[in-house]
Amino acid sequence: MNQPDAAPVLHLQGITKRYNIGTPVEAEVLHGITLALQQAEFVALKGPSGSGKSTLLNIIGLLEPPTAGELEIAGRSALALTDAELTALRGAAIGFVFQFHHLLPAFTALENVLLPSIIRHGTATPEAQALARELLARVGLQDAEYKRPGELSGGMQQRVAIARALSQKPRLILADEPTGNLDTVSADEVFALLREFNQDHGSACLIVTHDPRLALRCDRVIELVDGRVVGG
10 Å CB burial of residue 96 (0-12, 13-18, 19+) is buried
Mean pLDDT over 193-218 rounds to: 88
Cβ–Cβ under 8 Å, residues 97 and 113: no
Tens-digit pLDDT profile for residues 127-185: 889 999 988 988 888 899 999 999 998 888 888 988 898 888 899 999 888 777 777 88
Tens-digit pLDDT profile for residues 75-87: 889 988 899 999 8
Output the pLDDT for position 65: 92
In this prediction, residue 1 has a pLDDT band, given cuts at 50, 70 and 90, of very low
| Phi and psi, residue 55, nearest 5° | -65, -45
State yes or no: pLDDT of 4 exceeds 50: no
Cβ–Cβ under 8 Å, residues 78 and 89: yes
In this prediction, residue 24 has a pLDDT band, given cuts at 50, 70 and 90, of low
Cβ–Cβ under 8 Å, residues 157 and 103: yes
**Which one has a higher pLDDT value, 110 or 4?**
110
Mean pLDDT over 56-72 rounds to: 93
Output the pLDDT for position 2: 44
The answer to whether the Cα torsion of 141, 147, 149, 153 is positive or negative is negative
Taking the domains of the chain in order of start, what are their residue ranges? 41-64+83-231
State yes or no: pLDDT of 225 exceeds 70: yes
Query: What is the crossing angle of helices 126-138 and 154-166, to 10°?
Result: 140
State yes or no: pLDDT of 34 exceeds 90: yes
The closest alpha carbon to 148, from 111, 202, 96, belongs to 111
Output the pLDDT for position 146: 95
| Contacts of residue 111, Cβ cutoff 8 Å, sequence gap at least 6 | 104
State yes or no: pLDDT of 3 exceeds 60: no
Q: How far is CA 140 from the centre of its chain?
A: 21
Chain mean pLDDT for the chain: 87
Instruction: Provide CATH code, domain 41-64+83-231.
Output: 3.40.50.300
